[in-house]
Structure 1
Amino acid sequence: MINSMTGFASAKGACAPHSWGWELRSVNGKGLDLRLRVPDWLQGLEAALRAELAKSVTRGNVTLSLRISRSDETGDLALNRPVMQAALAALAEIEAEAQERGMTLAPSRASDLFTLRGMFDAVSGEDDNTALIARLRADFPALVAAFLDMRRNEGAALQQVLGEQLDRIAELAARAAVLAGARREAMALTLRSNLARVLDNAEGADPARVAQELALIAVKADVTEELDRLGAHVTAARDLLAKGGAVGRKLDFLMQEFNREANTLCSKSQSTELTAVGLDLKAVIDQMREQVQNVE
């Protein structure tokens, strides 16, 4: 079974106080291009996820996004003792200065210090994310499995389309073989007629030399080799589809060979019907080549 390079999967998870959402998607590409968008404060996570993806995917432009949020952004509060000590020292200095000036101040309360900037630090827990990273890594294989399932399902549909297109190419090649056989007989009659006409109207012409030139023309117009190669390419493409796996590059190469044979067939046809078949072949081959671009 072949795989498509098109795929998508998403998932959500939570591990208090964090929650997250995954998105994994891919489109066709000449090679493997992994683009990961992972929070950089989760040290080591991106490298681990990249290695996991590289083991599962061989081709495609793959994008992974991970978004993480906290249910309590402030977290626990920790007293900033240096700030507290500086505030108390400043408060004592103010009260002493006021007494020297004969001023009476209202008694200070501890709650007055709560609003001072920097008195408390928010404890986010992000200094130790070991448990979160472990949970994310455990959550990731299920996302990759869903992603690969979609690529396989897309590949199964793609394989059926490619099989039908190969059947159509084989039918057109068989039709071209019939037309080429009929054309061969007509060309033989035409060549014999031309040979007789040349000998009747050219004094001193060497009959053997003229016959040799006409035979060379017939050989150049013969499309047997092109049709044989088309048949061999069809067999090779079917074998690749049956083999499955990462066969996209080999199929892409075969499509170039298919197109080469169809072009040569058209250029050598010398027949309206055979040219029409050659053009039909080119159309099917172009359609198949577009599909092959999405095979892993």
Structure 2
Amino acid sequence: MTHSMTAFTRQEAQYPWGSLSWEIRSVNQRFLEPHFRLPETLRDLEPAIREMQRKNLNRGKVESVLRFQPAQVSEQFSIDEKLIKQLAGAAEAISSHLQNPAQINPLQLMQWPGVLQNEEVDPDEIKKAALDLYKQGLKDLISSRAREGEELANLIVQRLDGIDAIVKQVRDVLPGILERQRQQIEEKLESIKEELDPARVEQEIVILANKTDVAEELDRLDTHVTEVRRILKKKDPIGRRLDFLMQELNREANTLASKSIVTETTQCAVELKVLIEQMREQIQNIE
């Protein structure tokens, strides 16, 4: 399946300890080029994210931005009930030896070290949540790249159909063009025919016809178009292969233009180059 290198996704989630949001955007690049903007406290997530990208992406400049918003600070405490029971039991045991024991004061128990514990967020919990959220974002990014890649493939196929039509048009008119050329040459030489060797004249006509015959270029255009269609169906990254084939298609279009001897084939060569350039621009975004 054809994948684009251009995509964007945003993933956001709320937790008791705050919120996390990822923005991941990718654009075309010759190689895989990761860029990160992470909070300083979560900077050590970068190696794991790099590895995720390496396993799932092949090309593209990928910018990943993480934002972490802690929950509003509040004094939340938990009570160590086991310790409270131990302290209360010890106080009762002591009171049993006293004549007028004082009542146990809960406030005094609260002041005992360890009875009240401040609830703190585990940093590992935040990091795990950030990585899980990034996995979701990366999956969505890949899906987006696949959808756009499919559209790019459709656009390329449309241009390939256009090239096929132009090649067929040139094939249909080529025999008539060569025959008209032969007649024009013979007419020009008719006045001096007696002074020339007929065999030599025929030889020169054949040589000139061969120079202007573009059947070989048309065959190569057909071959390259067939190869492009085949590559578009592959699951591997195909952008570089397609880019190479665009160069070969353009080479044949230039040769067709240089051999053209009539306006009709010249116009066909120009239309070919336009279609090839349109494909080349789209292929710059294909992974």
TM over 0.5: yes
C-alpha distance after superposition, 1:68-100 (max 9, x if no partner): 1212358789xxxxxxxxxxxxxxxxxxxxxxx
What is the alpha-carbon distance in structure 2 between the residues aligned to residue 32 and residue 24 of structure 1? Answer: 14
User: How far apart are residue 278 of structure 1 and its match?
Assistant: 1.2
Structure 2 CA distance, aligned partners of 1:43 and 1:25?
19
Is the partner of 1:19 in helix, strand or coil?
Answer: strand
1:173 pairs with 2:171: no
* 1:133 positional shift: 1.1
Instruction: Provide the residue aligned with 1:138 in structure 2.
Output: 132
Cα distance in structure 2, aligned partners of 1:38 and 1:217:
68
CA contact (8 A) 1:73 1:124 kept: no
* Alpha-carbon distance in structure 2 between the residues aligned to 1:244 and 1:184: 44
Relative to structure 1, is the Cα distance of residues 183 and 291 closer, same or farther in structure 2, using a 3 angstrom cutoff? same
Taking the TM superposition and a 5 Å limit, the aligned residue runs for 1:98-113 are none
| Contact 2:12/2:133 (8 A) holds in 1 | no
Preserved contact between residue 35 and residue 63 of structure 1 (Cα < 8 Å): yes
Does the Cα contact within 8 Å between 2:182 and 2:205 map onto a contact in 1? no
Shift of 1:198: 4.4
Tell me how far 1:44 sits from its aligned partner: 2.7
5+ long unaligned stretches in structure 2: 78-117
- Compare 64-73 and 211-220 and name the one that shifted more: 211-220
Give, in whole Å, the separation in 2 of the partners of 1:48 and 1:75.
34
1:114-139 deviations in Å (ceiling 9; x for gaps): xxxxxxxxx9968x622211221222
The answer as to 2:278 corresponding to 1:284 is no
| TM-aligned CA distance change 1:73 to 1:161, over 3 Å | same
Code of the residue aligned with 1:154 in structure 2: it is E
What residue in structure 2 maps to residue 164 of structure 1?
158
Are 2:245 and 1:254 equivalent residues in the alignment? yes
State whether residues 17 and 71 of structure 2, in contact with CA within 8 Å, keep that contact through their aligned partners in structure 1.
yes
In the superposition, the TM-score normalised over structure 1's length comes to: 0.77
For residues 256 and 143 of structure 1, the distance between their equivalents in structure 2, rounded to whole angstroms, comes to 36
Calculate percent identity across the aligned residue pairs.
37
1:239 paired with 2:230, answer yes
CA distance in 2, matches of 1:179, 1:124: 84
Alignment of 1:145-224 (within 5 A): 145-200=139-194, 202=195, 205-224=196-215
Name structure 1 gaps, 5 residues minimum. 78-122
Tell me the distance in 2 between the aligned counterparts of 1:282 and 1:73.
Answer: 64
**TM-score of the aligned structures, taking structure 2 as reference length:** 0.79
Q: Equivalent residue of 2:128, what SS?
A: helix
- The number of residue pairs the alignment matches comes to 247
Shift of 1:2: 0.4
Determine helix, strand or coil for the equivalent of 1:5: coil
Query: 1:40-81 CA deviation, whole Å, 9 max, x = no partner?
Result: 32253111001101111111111110011212358789xxxx
Superposed displacement of residue 285, structure 1: 1.2
* Cα RMSD after superposing both structures: 2.3
User: Cα offset for 1:206?
Assistant: 4.6
Q: Which residue of 1 aligns with 2:216?
A: 225
